């Protein structure tokens, strides 16, 4: 269970002592983006200055907004590279990053720089790809994060807790954007069984 840090006594003139990194990870359909949006909205309610980013290649729901599977949305800035974040975050208090697995390998270093500047950095992304292997910069991000929340979906085959994103189409491309037409959440057993898995 994630316990949000205690911000009692927070003051912007001392914020360089208060930076940290939070990672929200899990399979597809586990609620990662929903949780990211929730935390960012809470920060805005607290009148903190928030900047939000997503990779420019993710155009599934909207060109600019970060949108969850439940259609909750929050405005963001699409970027081609992680380094670009440093150009937009000068006076903000909180940085939100969605679909972190699609950013380049510079992302962990960028997040560390932002945290060192006193910013709260909240990152959401897939921890494993469709082959069940660590995805992009996510392992390095999890290593340097102060807080990690792993969310789970429900296996679409048997109903157990799901941690894997099973690809339903034959493509072997590392990056294949899609939703329920291309992927479904699966537990370890049903993921390993692949097409042989039988629905209950």
Ranges assigned E (strand) in 27-167: 50-55, 66-67, 73-74, 77-79, 94-97, 120-126, 147-151, 153-154, 161-162, 164-167
CA angle 88, 89, 93 (to 5 degrees): 150
Domain-wise residue ranges, the chain: 15-152
| Helix H or strand E encompassing 5 | none
**Residue 105 annotated among the catalytic residues of the structure:** no
- The span from the CA of 23 to the CA of 95, in Å, is 12
**Site of tokens 């992302």:** 107
CA-CA distances (angstroms) from residue 85 to 125, 154, 166, 180, 197? 17, 34, 31, 30, 42
Provide the pLDDT for residue 18: 80
C-alpha angle 134-26-141 in degrees, rounded to nearest 5:
55
* Cβ 120 vs Cβ 93: under 8 Å: yes
pLDDT at 113: 96
Q: List residues bridging with 51 in a β-sheet.
A: 95
172 SS3 class: coil
Which residue's entry shows tokens 């560390």?
A: 112
Q: What is the pLDDT of residue 67?
A: 53
87 Cβ contact partners less than 8 Å away, ≥ 6 residues apart: none
- The rounded average pLDDT for each run of 10 residues, N- to C-terminus, in the chain (200 residues) is 54 62 97 94 95 81 50 78 94 95 96 96 97 96 98 97 93 65 93 84
What pLDDT is recorded for position 181?
77
DSSP 3-state assignment of 116?
Answer: helix
Q: Of 51, 99, 146, 173, which residue is the catalytic one?
A: 99
CATH number for region 15-152:
3.40.50.300
> Given this model, what pLDDT does residue 178 score?
58
Residue 4: how many other CB atoms lie within 10 Å = 11
- What's the pLDDT score for residue 182? 86
């Amino acid at each position: 269970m994630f316990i949000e840090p205690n911000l009692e006594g927070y003051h912007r003139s001392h914020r360089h002592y208060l930076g940290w990194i939070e990672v929200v990870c899990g399979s597809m359909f586990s609620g990662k983006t929903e949780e990211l949006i929730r935390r960012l909205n809470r920060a805005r309610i607290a009148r903190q200055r928030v900047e939000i980013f997503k990779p420019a290649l993710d155009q599934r729901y909207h060109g600019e907004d970060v949108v969850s599977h439940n259609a909750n949305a929050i405005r963001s800035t699409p970027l081609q590279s992680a380094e670009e974040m440093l150009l937009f975050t000068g006076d903000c208090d909180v940085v939100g990053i969605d679909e972190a697995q699609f950013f380049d390998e510079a992302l962990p270093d960028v997040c560390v720089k932002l945290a060192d500047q006193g910013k709260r950095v909240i990152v959401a992304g897939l921890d494993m790809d469709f082959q069940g292997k660590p995805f992009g910069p996510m392992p390095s991000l999890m290593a340097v994060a102060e807080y990690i929340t792993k969310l789970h979906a429900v296996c679409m085959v048997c109903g157990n807790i799901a941690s894997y994103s099973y690809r339903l189409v034959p493509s072997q491309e590392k990056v294949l954007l899609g939703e329920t037409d291309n992927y479904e959440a699966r537990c370890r057993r049903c993921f390993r069984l692949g097409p042989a898995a039988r629905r209950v």
